[in-house]
Amino acid sequence: MPKEEEGKKREEEAEQSAAHLHAYTHKHPPSKPHPTKAYGHVVKAFGNLLQVRFEGLLRQGEVAFVHLKEGADLKAEVIEILGNEAKIQVFEETRGVSLGLPVTFSGRLLEAELGPGLLTSIYDGLQNPLEQLAVKTGFFLPRGLYVNALDQDKKWNYEVKCSVGDKVKRGDTLGTVLEGRFTHRIMVPFSAYGKYTLTAVVPSGVYTVETVIAKAVDEKGVEHAFTMKQRWPIKSSLFQGERVKPEKLLETGLRIIDTQFPIMKGGTFCSPGPFGAGKTVLQHHLSKYSSVDIVVLVACGERAGEVVEVLREFPHLIDPYTNETLSTRTVIICNTSSMPVAARESSIYMGVTIAEYYRQMGLDVLLLADSTSRWAQALREISGRLEEIPGEEAFPAYLASRIASFYERSGVVLLPDGRKGSVTIGGAVSPAGGNFEEPVTQATLSVVGAFLGLSRERSDSRRYPAIDPLISWTKYLSEAARELESREEGWGGMVALALKTLQEGDAIRKRMEVVGEEGTVIDDVVTFLKAELYDFVYLQQNAFDAEDAYCPLNKQLELFALIKQVLEKKFHFQTHDEARTFFLQLQNEMKNLNYMNLKSEGFNQAKEKIEQLIEEGRAVALT
C-alpha cells in the first residue's frame, strides 16, 4: 500500500476513534479527566485478550472500547502496558474482532456508579441493570449494550443538610434522601480529595440523581459541581474514617454459627465445601436472617438457577428484624456461569465497592460471594493468556495477595460524627473434590477470621447445616464472649466445654468402631452420648420448620443453658442400655423445644420437665 494511502487510512481510523470517544464521554463525563485520551487499533487477539497498539497517554486499569464493524462497542480493561502496546481483557464475547479494529480509551478506570437507587437492583458484573436490559432486548442480551446503573429519571425527595460557606471534605453529608426505610446520605464524592468551601446549595425539594445539588471551590479556587451520584474505581478500597476493631456479634439464626463459631460484624469468613454440601443453601440463609442493614449478593460464576431461586423468594420473604420483604435491603450482582468469564473479577469488586459505599453511611453490610473459586479460575485463565509464570495448579503466583486484598476491604469504620458502619465479607469456596488443600482454599484460610467447613459426610447424613464442628474454627470467640457475658455468665467457657465434648465424643466413636460398645467403659459411652445429643439437638436445625429455621439469640441462650446442664452433669448409669435409654428420651424432649416459640407457655412447661429429667439423671415417664 502506498505511504500516502496508508497515512490517509490511519487518519480516518484516528478520526473514527475520536468520534466514538466523544460520543462516549458526552454520556459519561469522567470524574477525573485524563490529560490526553489515547486511541489505537487491534494488532493481536488471543481469546478475550487483545493486544492494542496505541497513541497517547494510558494507565493500567483504564476502560477501553473495541469498536466492531457491526456497530457494537465492546467494553474492556487495560491489564498490561508494554511501550506503545497494551493488553486489554474484553468483558464480552470477542466474535467479530479482527486486525486493525479501532480501540478508544476513556481516560477513566473501571468504576461503580453510586447513589440512591442501588437497593433492590439486579446488576451484572459491569453494573448494567439486568431488568432494564431485559425490557429493552428480551431474554437474550446482545453484546456492547451498556445502561446507566442508576435511574436517571427517577425523582427523590432531597433534604439539605449543609449551607453556603460550609467547609467540607470527601465523605461529608450534603443532604439525605429516603431509600426504602434507609436514610441515604448524599456525600461529597470520595474522589474529591482536599477541602472545599460550598458556594451554592439547592433548597430541599424533588430532584433526579443528575441534578447539581451543590457547588464548591477547592483550595486552589477551582469550582466543582456535586450531584446525588458519584463514581469510584472498584479495585480501590473506598474508606474514609478510622478503622476500629469489630465488637458486635453478627446474629445469623444458625446455632452452630452464633454459638460455636461466631462471626463479628466487620469480620470475614469462608465456607468451603464439596459440590452439593450446601454452600449456596448456607449463603441463602445468611442473606435472609443475618442481623445487618443491607445484603450484597454476588453470584460469581455459579449456576443461574441458584440466582433465580433468590429472585423468586426474596420479594415474598419477611425480614425478621424489620418485618419488610428481604428484597428491600438487597443488592444482587449476577454474573453466572453462562456470562462472560472476564466479568467475574469485576463482579467481585463491584459488590464490595457498593458494600463499602453503604458502610460510609453508618450501616452494617453483609457481602456474600458465591463462589470465589470461580473468580480464581477467571484469574487463572487470564494469567495463562498473559503468559505469566504459573503457580500451584496453574493459578497465578499472586493469587494469595489478590484474595487477601479482597477480604481486607471488610472491617468497621468509625465516622467523624461518631457513627459506625461495617462490611462483613463471606466467601463460598468450591474446591475440586472437596480438597481443602488446594490453593484457593489455603489462600483464603490464611486471611479470614472464621472457617465454616462443610462436610460431605454430614451432608449425606442429612445434618443441616452441614458445617463440620470438628474442622471449623473462629478467631472471634473471645470478642463474642465479651459481648454475651453480660447476658449469660461464663459463655466463653460453656462454648469451650461443648467443643471439647464434641472432640472427645468423636475420638470415643472411632474407638467404639474398633472394639465395640461393650468394650468401652461406661463413662466414655456417656461422653459419647453427650456429644451426640449436643450435635443432634443443638447444632442441627430443621430448615423446613418455620420456628426452627431461624433461632434468635435469646432463644439460643435458653437452649444452650440446658445443654450446659447436660454437659456438666455427672451421670451414673449401671449399664450401657440404661445410658442410651436416658439420652434418647432426653434428646427427643430437648429436640421438641426447637419447634416451640420461646414466649409460649408450652416452651416453659417443656423446659421445666427437661430440667427435672436432667436433675434425676434417669429415664422417667413424663406426662
Strand order in the sheet with 173-179: 182-187, 173-179, 156-160, 205-207
13 has a pLDDT exceeding 70? no
Is the domain of 380 the same as that of 255? yes
How many independent structural domains does the chain possess?
4
- Tell me whether residue 122 is in a domain: no
271 or 137: which leads in pLDDT: 271
The DSSP bridge pattern shows strands 122-123 and 230-233 to be unpaired
User: Rounded to 10 degrees, what is the CA torsion of 617, 619, 621, 623?
Assistant: 50
- Tell me whether residue 481 is in a domain: no
Cβ atoms within 10 A of the Cβ of 521, count? 10
621 has a pLDDT exceeding 70? no
Q: Are 103 and 90 in contact (CB under 8 A)?
A: no
Of 159-168, 254-263, 300-309, 375-384, the one with minimum mean pLDDT is: 300-309
For 418: left if phi > 0, alpha if psi spans -120 to 50, otherwise beta; the answer is left
Which pLDDT value is given to residue 9?
54
Of all residues in the chain, the percent with pLDDT exceeding 70 is 93
Is the domain of 322 the same as that of 369? yes
Is the domain of 322 the same as that of 464? yes
Is the domain of 267 the same as that of 309? yes
Q: Are 378 and 342 in contact (CB under 8 A)?
A: yes
Closest CA to 342 of 26, 66, 69: 66
118 or 305: which leads in pLDDT: 118
Check which CATH number belongs to the domain holding 27 and give it: 2.40.10.170
Is the domain of 318 the same as that of 445? yes
Q: What are the phi and psi torsion angles at 264 (to 5°)?
A: -100, 150
Q: How far is CA 594 from CA 286, 476, 545, 589, 622, in A?
A: 19, 26, 9, 10, 18
Is the domain of 261 the same as that of 194? no
Which pLDDT value is given to residue 2?
52
- Tell me whether residue 318 is in a domain: yes
- Tell me whether the omega of the peptide bond preceding residue 290 falls within 30 degrees of 0, making it cis: no
Would you give the distance in Å from CA 282 to the centre of its chain? Answer: 13
Of all residues in the chain, the percent with pLDDT exceeding 90 is 74
34 has a pLDDT exceeding 60? no
Which pLDDT value is given to residue 4?
56
Which pLDDT value is given to residue 110?
95
Is the domain of 222 the same as that of 247? no
Which grid coordinates belong to 43?
494488532
Model pLDDT for residues 65-101, shown as the tens digit of each residue: 999 998 889 999 999 999 999 999 999 889 999 999 9
Which pLDDT value is given to residue 618?
67
At residue 58 the predicted structure's pLDDT band, cuts being 50, 70 and 90, is: very high
Q: What is the mean pLDDT of residues 121-134?
A: 90
Is the domain of 342 the same as that of 264? yes
Cα angle 537, 542, 545; round to 5: 125
Of 13-22, 485-494, 589-598, the one with minimum mean pLDDT is: 13-22
342 has a pLDDT exceeding 50? yes
Is residue 212 helix, strand or coil?
strand
- Tell me whether residue 121 is in a domain: no
User: Which letter does DSSP use for residue 537 in this model?
Assistant: I
At residue 5 the predicted structure's pLDDT band, cuts being 50, 70 and 90, is: low
293 has a pLDDT exceeding 70? yes
- Tell me whether residue 145 is in a domain: no
Q: How far is CA 514 from CA 503, 523, 530, in A?
A: 18, 18, 20
At residue 136 the predicted structure's pLDDT band, cuts being 50, 70 and 90, is: confident
Alpha-carbon torsion 524, 526, 532, 538, what sign? negative
Amino acid, single-letter form, for residue 29: P
**Long-range Cβ contact pairs of 500-508 (< 8 A, separation 24 or more):** 501/527, 501/530, 501/531, 501/534, 501/567, 502/469, 502/470, 502/531, 502/534, 502/535, 503/470, 504/531, 505/530, 505/531, 505/532, 506/470, 506/531
Which pLDDT value is given to residue 116?
97
Q: Helices marked H in 127-222 — which ranges?
A: 130-137
CA distance 481 to 1: 78
Closest CA to 447 of 395, 404, 400, 479: 404
Q: Are 529 and 573 in contact (CB under 8 A)?
A: no
Q: Are 236 and 394 in contact (CB under 8 A)?
A: no
Check which CATH number belongs to the domain holding 533 and give it: 1.10.1140.10
33 has a pLDDT exceeding 50? no
Which pLDDT value is given to residue 50?
96
Give me the half-sphere count of Cα atoms (radius 13 Å) on the Cβ side of residue 569. Answer: 21
Q: What is the mean pLDDT of residues 382-401?
A: 93
Q: Are 187 and 216 in contact (CB under 8 A)?
A: no
Is the domain of 49 the same as that of 80? yes
134 has a pLDDT exceeding 60? yes
Check which CATH number belongs to the domain holding 218 and give it: 2.40.50.100
Q: What is the mean pLDDT of residues 152-161?
A: 96
Is the domain of 495 the same as that of 554? yes
- Tell me whether residue 90 is in a domain: yes
Which pLDDT value is given to residue 587?
95
- Tell me whether residue 621 is in a domain: no
Which pLDDT value is given to residue 32?
40
Closest CA to 358 of 421, 298, 420, 418: 421
Is the domain of 199 the same as that of 270? no
Closest CA to 440 of 472, 407, 474: 407
Check which CATH number belongs to the domain holding 366 and give it: 3.40.50.300
- Tell me whether residue 41 is in a domain: yes
Which pLDDT value is given to residue 215?
96
Of 4-13, 151-160, 500-509, the one with minimum mean pLDDT is: 4-13
Which pLDDT value is given to residue 12?
57
Which pLDDT value is given to residue 306?
72
469 has a pLDDT exceeding 50? yes
Is the domain of 183 the same as that of 266? no
Model pLDDT for residues 407-455, shown as the tens digit of each residue: 999 999 999 999 999 999 999 999 988 899 999 999 999 999 999 999 9
Residues of the domain holding 104: 3-109
